[in-house]
Structure 1
Amino acid sequence: MDGESATVVVIGSGAGGAPLTHTLVRAGHRVVVLEKGPLLRTQAQSPGGLSDFKRDECFATGSEKRITVQGVANTGESFYSSHVEPDLNDEPHVYRDSDGRDRVTIEGYTAQLVGGGTQLYGGVSPRFTPEDLRLATLNASRGDLRDDPGGEVRREARDWPLDYAALEPYYTRAEELVGINGTWGGQAKVPSQDRYQPPLDPNPISAYAAAGMDALGMRRYRTPLAVITRDHPPSGRTVPADADSIKTAFVNRYGDPLGLKSNVWVSLLAPLREVNGSGGLDLRANCTVTHLEADGPRVTKVHYRDPGGWPRTITAGTVVVACSAIESVRLLQLSGLLDPAFDKRVNANGLLGRYFLTHCFGGAQCIVPERADKSRTLDSDWATDHCARPEWFRAQGLWAGGVIYNNTSDGALPLSLARTWHAMDMDSMWKGYLYDTGIVGDGFEDYLEDSFGRRLSVAFMANQVPQRENRIELHPSVTDKWGRPVAYIIKSWHPHDRALMDTLAEQCRQILVRGGDVRDVSSGSVGGSVVRIANHVLGGARFGTNAADSVLDPDCRVWNFDNLYVTDGAFMPTSGSANPTLTIEANSFRVGDVLLDRVGRT
């Protein structure tokens, strides 16, 4: 409806948008949330008791399509579309490959639906360590850093404009309101309150990872997971009487039809339907925001297309952009493309899109003697902060460390083994072992005998070195179905990233080697694979205390605007030593309190 207005408009309903929406609506405000994707309901939310999820959220099984985008290296290649990610021909991302050629990809889309990527992630939800927020200070006087010939690590490291103590209460709020299970003993992070629900019993295969961590003297803890194991009063969700039935490997990479996975739709947004006479939350699914319009330092209008494709506008008092880092940066860049005055304000220092980050990641895998039913598990059982401790990563000549945890649910079923065998990125997951001609006949039986229920992996997540040239731009020639330039991702790995990944991958390998009678142990990292941008899209609009050195102020407000905020992972100046979702949620709760002070408390 053209001409309407709202006090707050939030663009995106995932980890960056839902917590502050929850805060504002609970305080009595009306918030319009514009979500590009559909609303998929759980069984309990559906009038007919049938969930909207199809159990193929990431892996499409429909008809084969061909890439028709012209001017890229993979024109003509086949692909399959998922119903929660864009068709590659409609709205691709483009990345510059190592050969200098452009290729279209769906990587970098966390998921387009209400709840965003929290609908499909495995739920691994550790906090960052206090050291993650002050890496510039920790490394300022060091002369022992490995593989840093140009001195970029110390020069480009940035402290966050808030410390762990300032963020800690919001971590606690997120753990309580979202619904996390896990344990604190052994963590390198100290909570002010324990809001974890108790974890379920680990899967038997995880005993090898636990034994390996113990043998190496690594303090371990039950991995914090965004899955409820007890009734959850803040959201009104309840668990089955048989708690063990909560365990399902489908939690990872699939939507949860039961609503037990604590995505932000079921935990934070759906409960708001009962608040303020159900008028506080105005959630509009299948609405694509095209650009923002400003009058001087104030964003005045949000332009979007409704579910029928019709252009609409809404006048906003405050605008929060939370589309996931790549698309948030792209939206601001598209708005600047249409209005040079907007561009001058949002990108006055030339940093919008710069310092794009993912995570350094990788790990190790092996084959264990006994077969386990890996379908009866959640995503991870055991984690350790051993390699996130300053004394450890300093001894290795590294600028930062990372969390290590075992992936319990990977390859849980023959179908998931098929889809991930030799598949290194989101575009090729569906190809599975079709490219391995040895997996036929006896080879297929041998493959299942060795891999099904017997494959165990251990993974790490660690800080990536910020590089100015790692960036998000608008592509000069490829456009989406509405004629707008698509996101263009240019990214490489710093030599120190590779050293860090090799070191942590070896730690993962040692955990498995020391874990018992295992075989075929191998390790590797993203630095040696074709994975490009899929893992945790962060940065591109970092926050800081200096307007010349950041895009956002400490409250995540765009420096030269009075009422424009960015609250997804784009705000991060460093990527942290663990999965980022809980930190994004905690920061969004923090910004929600900031907005309450600015828009008023009813």
Structure 2
Amino acid sequence: MNQEFDIIIIGSGAGGAPIAQEMVKKGKSVLMLEKGPLFQPQYLSDSGVSDFRRDELYATGPEKKITLDVSNKGEPYYSSHVEPDLNDEPHIYRHGGAVEEDRATLEGYTAQVVGGGTQLYGAVSLRFAENDFKLKSYNENRGYNLNGDPNGDVDREVRDWPISYQDLEPYYAKAEELIGINGTYEKQGKPFSSGNKYQTPLAPNPISQFVKNGMEAKGMDWYRTPLAVITEDHQPSGRKAGYAKTGYVNRYGDPMGFKSNTWVALLAPIKDEPNFDLRCNCTVTLLKSENRKIKEVVFLDESGETQTAKGKVVVVACSAIESTRLLMLSAQHDKNGFGKIVTQSGTNDLLGKYFLTHCFGGAETTVPGKYDKSISLDSDYATDFASSESFMKEKGLWAGAAIYNNTSDQALPISLARTHASQDIDTIWKGFVKNWPESGETPGVGEDLSRWIGNNFGTRLSVSFMANQVPLKGNRIELHPNVKDKWGRPVAYIIKKWHEHDRYLMDTVSSVCKDILIAGGANADRLGSGGVYLSENSRARIANHILGGARFGDDRNDSVLDKDCRLWDADNLFVTDGSFMPTSGGANPTLTIQANAYRIADILIQKYLN
């Protein structure tokens, strides 16, 4: 096999696939290394049967027990076939409570499979608001006091992006067209200067009328939620549209290829090109440097043998936690080489710091009547009401939020437990055995379980929000001092807390979500609302929006990456997953990661691979 390439890309998700696609089109030789397997949809499978088993998010395999030396040792968990085994490759997080303790979790693993988290996401593909790119400047001139920030942490810690919305706008449009997204842009609170690239959305599920009516009653402009699911034939990828309106498209691997994950949308169209080499089931272990360049990428191939490859450019895009961990492991292994590159003045001690997720939450209740929610995509209606400056000023917020309904949430019987009591994916079955609303009895099994499903299935509706989390240096990724993975390497250690203003923001915006449901005619007496900080395992809850840890900027003393997403003191190393974000944005991050990856692809051609 060829071991020298123009560019090596580690990770096949939102941060890596757009770059691979563009490089191949430009005639550059590309090696893409993906830790997980390649699962095909039906139309690409030789057998005509999809590789997805529809248990990707709902772990339905045999029960296992945590054997690691952590506080939740002995607890049961259920691995799916696109996640690592928790005992082999855990993430460890510091759990709050009367006593701080370390717990193992699968949170933070979006999916180990070609396409990464885009294989499983609900496909909500919102642009960030203009203000999300300049929150330092905005807050310096906001003219009002913030609620829940007595120490001025926002003013001290927030940073503007080194690029503006206008810089990224043409790349948003490019991503929307090449990936395949349906929705409407009228009444979105941001400009579409490159024009409308959306496909036409499907008719909304009838249950969503309660949300639309509620938004209108509260005076909110609404639009059809942009979703990365094709509703028309998609010429760039050669996919044919079909009956995509089913609950199996979201939160599962899509067996039909309608959901625009990065495999079917961007990589499958180039899979047979002679200058594209996709190697699956390969675990990258080290980046080796010489002077200011990465000279070799070391990885374990699918047989477990150590291999090396060389690239003129190396792109790391294996999700913020694992990308940060890879850089740290490489620095630890070679303290005088790559270690010095990482710890030069440009990066200071910032690698791993300012880890971000999202403030998220919402409101949920039942509605009159029953609806077939399996015939739905993930969301029908969205509003930018809570991202307006007038709303932020009225509520004393530092940043805004996107609000949208979850049409497909709890659309299938087993998924009623997915969000019941906000359970971690490690402990999904707890949703069936605690906090039972009808009888108060535990466990919820037998007739109790049957009655609960009958009373709730097809009646539940939720409205969610995504908002910026206050960036704090103390929120960070480290290498755990004791716990190691199956290869003997320190695992990622997630240390994170919610700021007081985060909690206030979540309370404030979840109340707006509640108001929408009430105004729309949903059942007010069964209404629950709140932010994720209220959940039992709130510090681990990160919505698979894994951001920060290697923020980019214009000041080499205040960022890990430069404006091009290049490590300041490495001439050929780039990080393009969510790690680069200095703030987490007031919406789902996937589209912004993809748009930025297209921006970086242009920069690589113009400045580094010309």
Pick the TM interval, shorter chain. over 0.9
Counterpart-to-counterpart distance in 2, 1:34 and 1:559: 24
- The TM-score normalised by the length of structure 1 is 0.96
Q: 1:563 to 1:450 in 2, by over 3 A?
A: same
CA distance, structure 1, for counterparts of residue 448 and residue 486 of structure 2: 44
**Which residue matches 2:205?**
203
Report what 1:463 is aligned to.
Answer: 468
Contact 2:83 2:112 survives alignment (8 Å):
yes
Write the distance in 2 (CA, Å) between the matches of 1:4 and 1:406.
Answer: 47
Q: Which residue of 2 aligns with 1:480?
A: 485
Amino acid at match of 2:170: P
Counterpart of 1:214 in structure 2: which amino acid? E
- The answer as to 2:568 corresponding to 1:573 is no
Q: Could you say which residue in structure 2 is the equivalent of 1:363? A: 362
Match of 1:168 in 2: 169
Q: Which residue of 1 aligns with 2:250?
A: 252
Partner Cα separation in structure 2 for residue 362 and residue 378 of structure 1: 19
Alignment of 1:89-108 (within 5 A): 89-99=87-97, 100-108=100-108
Partner amino acid for 2:109? Y
1:426–1:534 contact (8 Å) kept in structure 2: no
- Read off the aligned partner of 1:269 and give its amino acid letter: L
Letter in structure 1 aligned against 2:372: D
Identify which of 224, 233, 237 aligns with 1:235. 237
Structure-2 separation of matches of 1:462 and 1:285: 34
Tell me whether 1:543 sits opposite 2:549 in the alignment. Answer: no
Change (3 A) 1:310 1:559: same
Cα deviation digits, residues 93-145 of structure 1 (max 9, x gap): 00000031001111101111100000000000000011000000000144511
In structure 2, relative to structure 1, the CA distance for the partners of 1:582 and 1:482 (3 Å cut) is same
Mapping for residues 169-568 of structure 1, pairs under 5 Å: 169-191=170-192, 192-240=194-242, 245-274=243-272, 278-341=273-336, 342-348=338-344, 349-435=348-434, 436=436, 437=442, 439-440=444-445, 442-519=447-524, 520-529=526-535, 530-531=537-538, 532-535=540-543, 536-568=545-577
Deviation at 1:501, TM superposition (A): 0.5
Count of equivalent residues: 592
Structure 1: which amino acid aligns with 2:427?
S
> What does the per-residue CA deviation read over 1:178-235, in whole Å, with 9 as the maximum and x for residues that have no partner?
0000001110011121000000000011000111100110100000000000000000
Secondary structure of the residue aligned to 1:380 is coil
Distance 1:599 1:398 in 2: 41
Unaligned runs of 5+ in 1: none
Residue 128 (structure 1) aligns with? 128
**Structure 1 residues 541 and 136, CA, compared in 2 at 3 Å: closer, same or farther?**
same
Conserved? CA contact 2:355–2:475, under 8 Å: yes
1: distance between equivalents of 2:197 and 2:166? 17
Q: Is the 8 A contact 2:6 2:609 kept in 1?
A: no
Shift of 1:420: 4.0
Q: Distance in 2 between matches of 1:431 and 1:374?
A: 23
Q: Using the TM superposition, give the Cα deviation of residue 367 of structure 1 relative to its aligned residue in structure 2, in angstroms.
A: 0.8
Identity, % of aligned pairs? 57
Distance 1:534 1:253 in 2: 16
* Residue equivalent to 1:58: 57
Using structure 2 for the length normalisation, give the TM-score.
0.95
Question: Of the candidates 57, 81, 84, which is equivalent to residue 83 of structure 1?
Answer: 81
Structure 2 distance, partners of 1:281, 1:496, is 46
- Partner of 1:44, secondary structure, is helix
Higher mean displacement: 374-383 or 184-193: 184-193
- CA–CA distance in structure 2, aligned partners of residues 446 and 62 of structure 1: 25
Conservation of the 8 A alpha-carbon contact between 1:383 and 1:404: yes
Aligned CA RMSD, in angstroms, stands at: 1.3
Q: Tell me if the contact between 1:59 and 1:430 (Cα under 8 Å) persists in the aligned partners.
A: no
Cα distance in 2 for partners of 1:327, 1:166 equals 28
Q: Quick check: 1:183–1:221 contact (8 Å CA) kept in 2?
A: yes
| Secondary structure of the corresponding residue to residue 223 of structure 2 | strand
2:71 partner SS? coil
| 1:123/1:491 CA distance change after superposition, 3 Å | same
Moved more, 386-395 or 452-461: 386-395
* Distance of 2:138 and 2:422 partners within structure 1: 37
Give the CA deviation at 1:422. 3.1
Paired with 1:438 and 1:406, the residues of 2 have a C-alpha distance of 30
For residue 314 of structure 1, give the secondary structure of its aligned residue in structure 2: strand
Kept after mapping to 1: 8 A contact 2:144/2:393: no
Which whole-Å CA distance do the structure 2 matches of 1:533 and 1:472 have between them? 15
Contact conserved, 2:366 with 2:522, CA < 8 A, in 1? no
TM-aligned CA deviation for residue 425 of structure 1? 1.2
Q: How far 1:432 moved relative to its partner? A: 3.2
Where does structure 2 lack aligned partners over 5 or more consecutive residues?
437-441
- Residue of structure 2 equivalent to 1:73: 71
**2:588 equivalent to 1:586:** no
1:4 is displaced (CA, Å) by 2.2
Q: Paired residue for 2:16?
A: 17
Partners of 2:30 and 2:275 within 8 A in 1: yes
Instruction: Between 418-427 and 558-567, report the one with greater CA deviation.
Output: 418-427
Rounded Cα–Cα distance in structure 1 between residues aligned with 2:315 and 2:176: 23
CA distance in 1, matches of 2:443, 2:312: 61
Secondary structure in 1 matching 2:341: helix
Give the structure 2 partner of residue 112 of structure 1. 112
Rounded Cα–Cα distance in structure 2 between residues aligned with 1:23 and 1:533: 34
Structure 2 CA distance, aligned partners of 1:454 and 1:379? 16
- Aligned partner of residue 594 in structure 2, secondary structure: helix
Q: 8 Å contact 1:305–1:311 — kept in the other structure?
A: yes
User: Hey, what's the Cα distance between the residues in 2 that align with 1:12 and 1:486?
Assistant: 18
CA deviation map 1:292-311 (0-9, x unaligned): 00011101000000000000
Q: Distance in 1 between matches of 2:212 and 2:418?
A: 28
Contact 1:380 1:409 in 2 (8 A): yes
